[in-house]
Amino acid sequence: MSDAGYLHGSCLCGGVTYRAALPVSHASHCYCRMCQKQHGAAAGSYANVASAGLVIEQGADLIAEYASSDHGRRDFCRGCGSTLFWRSTQSPDRIAITLGTMEPEYAGQVTREWFVENKPAWLPQA
Ligand SMILES: [Zn+2]
Ligand SMILES: [Zn+2]
C-alpha cells in the first residue's frame, strides 16, 4: 500500500496517531518563547498543511488544547505531553504539525525560521 500522499505520526505514549494529507506548504523552526516553553527545546518544528486533510486515527479524546494567545492554539497529548499541533483561529484552514512526532521521519526541507533573534546561544554553532 502506498502512503505517499500522507504524513503519519504519533505521540510518545502512542495513544494518539494521526495522518495528514500532503502537500506541505512549508516547514519551519519557530524560536519564539512560547514554542521554546511548550516544547522545552530550542524551537518548535512544524509542517504546515491543510487542516481539512488532518485525520486523528486514534486517541482524539487524549488531545488537550492550550490557548497560548488570543488566536494561537497548541494541541498536545494529555497522557504523555507530546506536542502535536499548532493552529490559529485566524486561519482555520491551516494547521501546523510537529515534525518530531512524525513516523517515518519528515523527509522534506525546512525552509523557514521564525524569531531567529531568540535562537539560544546553547545551540551548536554551525
Ligand atoms: Zn501520548
Ligand atoms: Zn513559535
What pLDDT does residue 125 have? 81
Mean pLDDT by 10 residues, the chain (126 residues): 80 98 97 97 98 98 97 98 98 98 97 97 88
CA of 58, nearest ligand number: 1
- Distances from the Cα of 97 to the Cαs of 20, 85, 103, 123, in angstroms? 9, 5, 12, 23
- Tell me which residue has cell 507530546: 82
How many Å lie between the centroid of ligand 1 and the Cα of residue 106?
19
How many Å lie between the centroid of ligand 1 and the Cα of residue 70?
26
The domain ranges of the chain are: 6-115
How many Å lie between the centroid of ligand 2 and the Cα of residue 1?
35
Quick check: helix, strand or coil at residue 75? strand
CA of 81, nearest ligand number: 1
- Distances from the Cα of 105 to the Cαs of 20, 33, 50, 102, 109, in angstroms? 14, 25, 19, 6, 12
CATH assignment of 6-115?
2.170.150.70
